[in-house]
Structure 1
Amino acid sequence: MIRPISRVATVPLHTARTTRTFSTTLPKRFIEEDVSADRFAHLLLQNKQSSKPLLVDFFAEWCQPCKMLSPILHGLVNDPKRVGGREVDLVTVDVDKNMDAAAQFQVRAMPTVLAFREGKLASSFVGLLPEPKLKEFIENL
């Protein structure tokens, strides 16, 4: 039996207001998920003119360590205070969808994280690292 939707009382918007403080002095952090090979190449070109390192997380949907690493990386990128004030950009690349990008950098295991500075490969690691090691990796870029 189909029942009619009951009406719900609504609260006027003017009674539900909260005060929010916005600041334009916060650093802009860039995170882009599941990029294509073309977009990845474009981001590497942009990184040549940037002072911020670019972390590239090569992952696969079926990879359990990848699913564990991703939230840790996102948390560290979103909160530079946790990594000694180091600001970085983060891009994720699905190796099953973008085999060309993975082959270009000889990614053979997941997760693989590459760090680029000024468009050049600066550092990398393979596998799941504990958070203190990830912090150290980012701080040393």
Structure 2
Amino acid sequence: MASFQEIIQSDKPVLVDFYADWCGPCKMMKPILEEVKGEMKDELTILKVDVDRNPDAAQSLGIQSIPTLILFKNGKVLWRQAGVVPAKQLQQIVKEHV
């Protein structure tokens, strides 16, 4: 299995959702991310990172609140936002950076 660092180095955009199982707003992101994946298919990789199981990844990126979404391409952060983001807005953000 590829490491977090290997995945975000992709030349295809990678949307990372930092979440926790106990987080209410994080649960709201699941159907939103499924909708985005359904619309964007292979244009985008979506990766969910549980901050409780992967504290190093969360700490290295300074994740202070969840959910936090970060869009990477070639290892660079293109966009970042904490909180729930509507599907249409997420798709628009990704399309701006593809």
Q: What is the TM-score when the length of structure 2 is the normalising length?
A: 0.86
Paired residues for 1:1-141 under 5 Å: 39-45=3-9, 47=10, 50=11, 52-80=12-40, 87-141=43-97
Equivalent position amino acid for 1:64 in 2:
G
Letter paired with 2:35: G
Specify which structure has the higher proportion of strand.
2
Q: CA deviation at 1:70?
A: 1.7
Paired residues of 2:8 and 2:73 also in contact (CA < 8 A)? no
Residue 41 of structure 1 deviates from its aligned partner by: 1.9
Q: Larger relative contact order (C-alpha < 8 A, sep ≥ 6)?
A: 2
Quote the Cα distance in structure 2 between the aligned partners of 1:113 and 1:56. Answer: 6
Question: Computing the radius of gyration over CA atoms, which structure comes out larger, 1 or 2?
Answer: 1
More helix by share: 2
* Structure 1: runs of 5+ lacking an equivalent: 1-34
After superposition, what is the alpha-carbon deviation per residue over 1:17-47, rounded to whole angstroms, capped at 9, x for unaligned?
xxxxxxxxxxxxxxxxxx9xx72122124x1
Q: Which runs of 4+ in 1 moved over 4 A?
A: none
TM superposition score normalised by structure 1? 0.62
